[in-house]
Structure 1
Amino acid sequence: RYGVAADVALHAPSAGGDDRNYHAHILTTTREVEADGLGKKTRILDAAKTGGPEIESLRELWAMQCNEALERHQQPARIDHRSYERQGVDEMPTIHLGPTSTTMERKHKAEQERKGEPYKPQTFKAQENERRRTLNDHVREMVRELAATVREVAEQAKNAKKSAAQALLRAIGSQRQEELAEQARRAAEAHRREEERREALRQQSLREARERAVQEAKGRMADIAKKAQRLAPDAREKFLAGEYPSDPFNRALKAHRHPLGTTGLDAEEKAVKAHLKVYQEQEKRQQAERQQAPARGRGRGRGGPSRSRSRDYDSGPSYDSGPDFF
């Protein structure tokens, strides 16, 4: 469909990992494959307007093919590429651990097993996932209990029709229905409060992550500006070209490593270059002032510049905190 070459790697679960984690990695070229080799760029997967829908269609096709394979092998499991929210599943999703947290948890679990102690999550993400799984189990248990109660009431009503004490059973059924309604109301209220708390935690996590990324980006910008300020002009240009490449592929790699992505990298480049421009102008102005300083100081003492005048000149501007562009 896209004219690109694809490399597919099928992986079995890693040692000490989840034994269900069979997965695949699919990598494609960024250029179309032609008779003589790689040709023009494949823009449809990168463009802002088409990239998202194209990737979504690929994920949907992958899910369909997996489900067809599962059905051929008479396996009941099915996969869905959509999120819980889009599926309408009223369940709290877990957080992706990532390689760092996964490694820490495996090491901690192995250590606990050697000590003969029960495993308890150590990292924040694993602890949060454990809390969410417990909450989901609790909600499912409440639903099962409510369904069992409804079935029980229905069975009681059915048996009541066969007995002579219909009036008494109707009174009991009415009272039971009130209890069920109260239980359902309490369950709904508890679920609503949990949703509010969960949303507050999510918003707090987003704010904290944003603040950490901004602070990291500020520190990075200050370091780059300081390094560039200490270099000679020709070396400075080469250094900046390496940090802010014009080639789209290399720039995309740089933006991927930046705490704030492409927007942060663009803003950082603009701020650093603006600072260096001011710094260069100050260097030129101070150099000119130093060259003129002896002429202005003649006639004092033994003909040289005054000591008080010499203190008016320093070694040039410094970069202490850097511009704030976030």
Structure 2
Amino acid sequence: MEREQGSGEFVREPLGVAGRITAEESAPWPVAPGRYRLVGARACPWANRVIITRRLLGLEDAISLGIAGPLHDERSWRFHLDPGNVDPVLGIEYLREAYEKAVPGYDDGVTVPAMVDVASGKVATNDYAALERDLSTEWREFHRDGAPDLWPDAGEIDRIGEGIFDDVNNGVYKCGFAGTQDAYDRAYRALWDRLDALSGHLSDRRYLVGDTITQADIRLWVTLVRFDAAYHGHFKANRHKLTELPVLWAYARDLFQTPGFGDTIDFEQVKQHYYGVHTSINPTGIVPDGPDPSGWLTPHGRDELGGRPFGDGTPPGPPPGNERVPPLT
């Protein structure tokens, strides 16, 4: 998933199967309900972006969801939560098997999310950014009634999203996997400068772009929701906890309590993955018992800022029974 340059800076490896699934019938991978299985993991923020998008747009019947467990080894993400350690639709134990079917001798990173063609067992694409955009555009015919418009201002969403990706989504990894003090210090400063700017931006508006939830909010939120459970301690992104940042904490709780967001999160799997897999950072593999997640359900007060979460659309219904996560207690 990552490597270090001579500077000690974390660099995310290129995607290994960056295809597209489009509405063109002649496309190598055409849109077709029931053809593909989205493989994600509750632990992974990149997968979470696409899982939330699928939920909000109501594509559960068109695209099935497979969940890899939080633990994996050098062979890749593994379906160790499923009976017999095998995905019930794809019939594989390790996600690498689907990558190797797509690219014989595949030797790049095995990542989630991955959209897998069920019939052939091949990964069609693991390009999370293209997937979240294409689910909104190329799959429009199969959206639920009342699906929100997640791209009302694509230019502004991409502009703000670029900074979120560089300094926040990827920024916490740059802190955690830095190979030198200088590399860590640069990443740490960029992360907190960006979070401070985002806090200021959100101090008088409910959402990042316009008055509705957009893809920009999804991109930021998947890092915020994992911040105290993993990034603050495990990745040394520890100037403050999220719970100590009034604006961002309220913003994150607002979205957590919005259908399609909090109902995709399993904090135990998040901690099991980060603390259990990254042995170079946490060699003992000990998973912390805290923090207490019950605060995510406390009042946030953000509705006083106005806004219409789903615009002219409606909230999604409850997730399918086999996709539900444990409730917070």
How high is the TM-score relative to the length of structure 2? Answer: 0.24
TM-score with structure 1 length normalisation?
0.24
- Larger helix proportion, structure 1 or 2? 1
User: Which protein, 1 or 2, shows the higher relative CO under an 8 Å CA cutoff with sep ≥ 6?
Assistant: 2
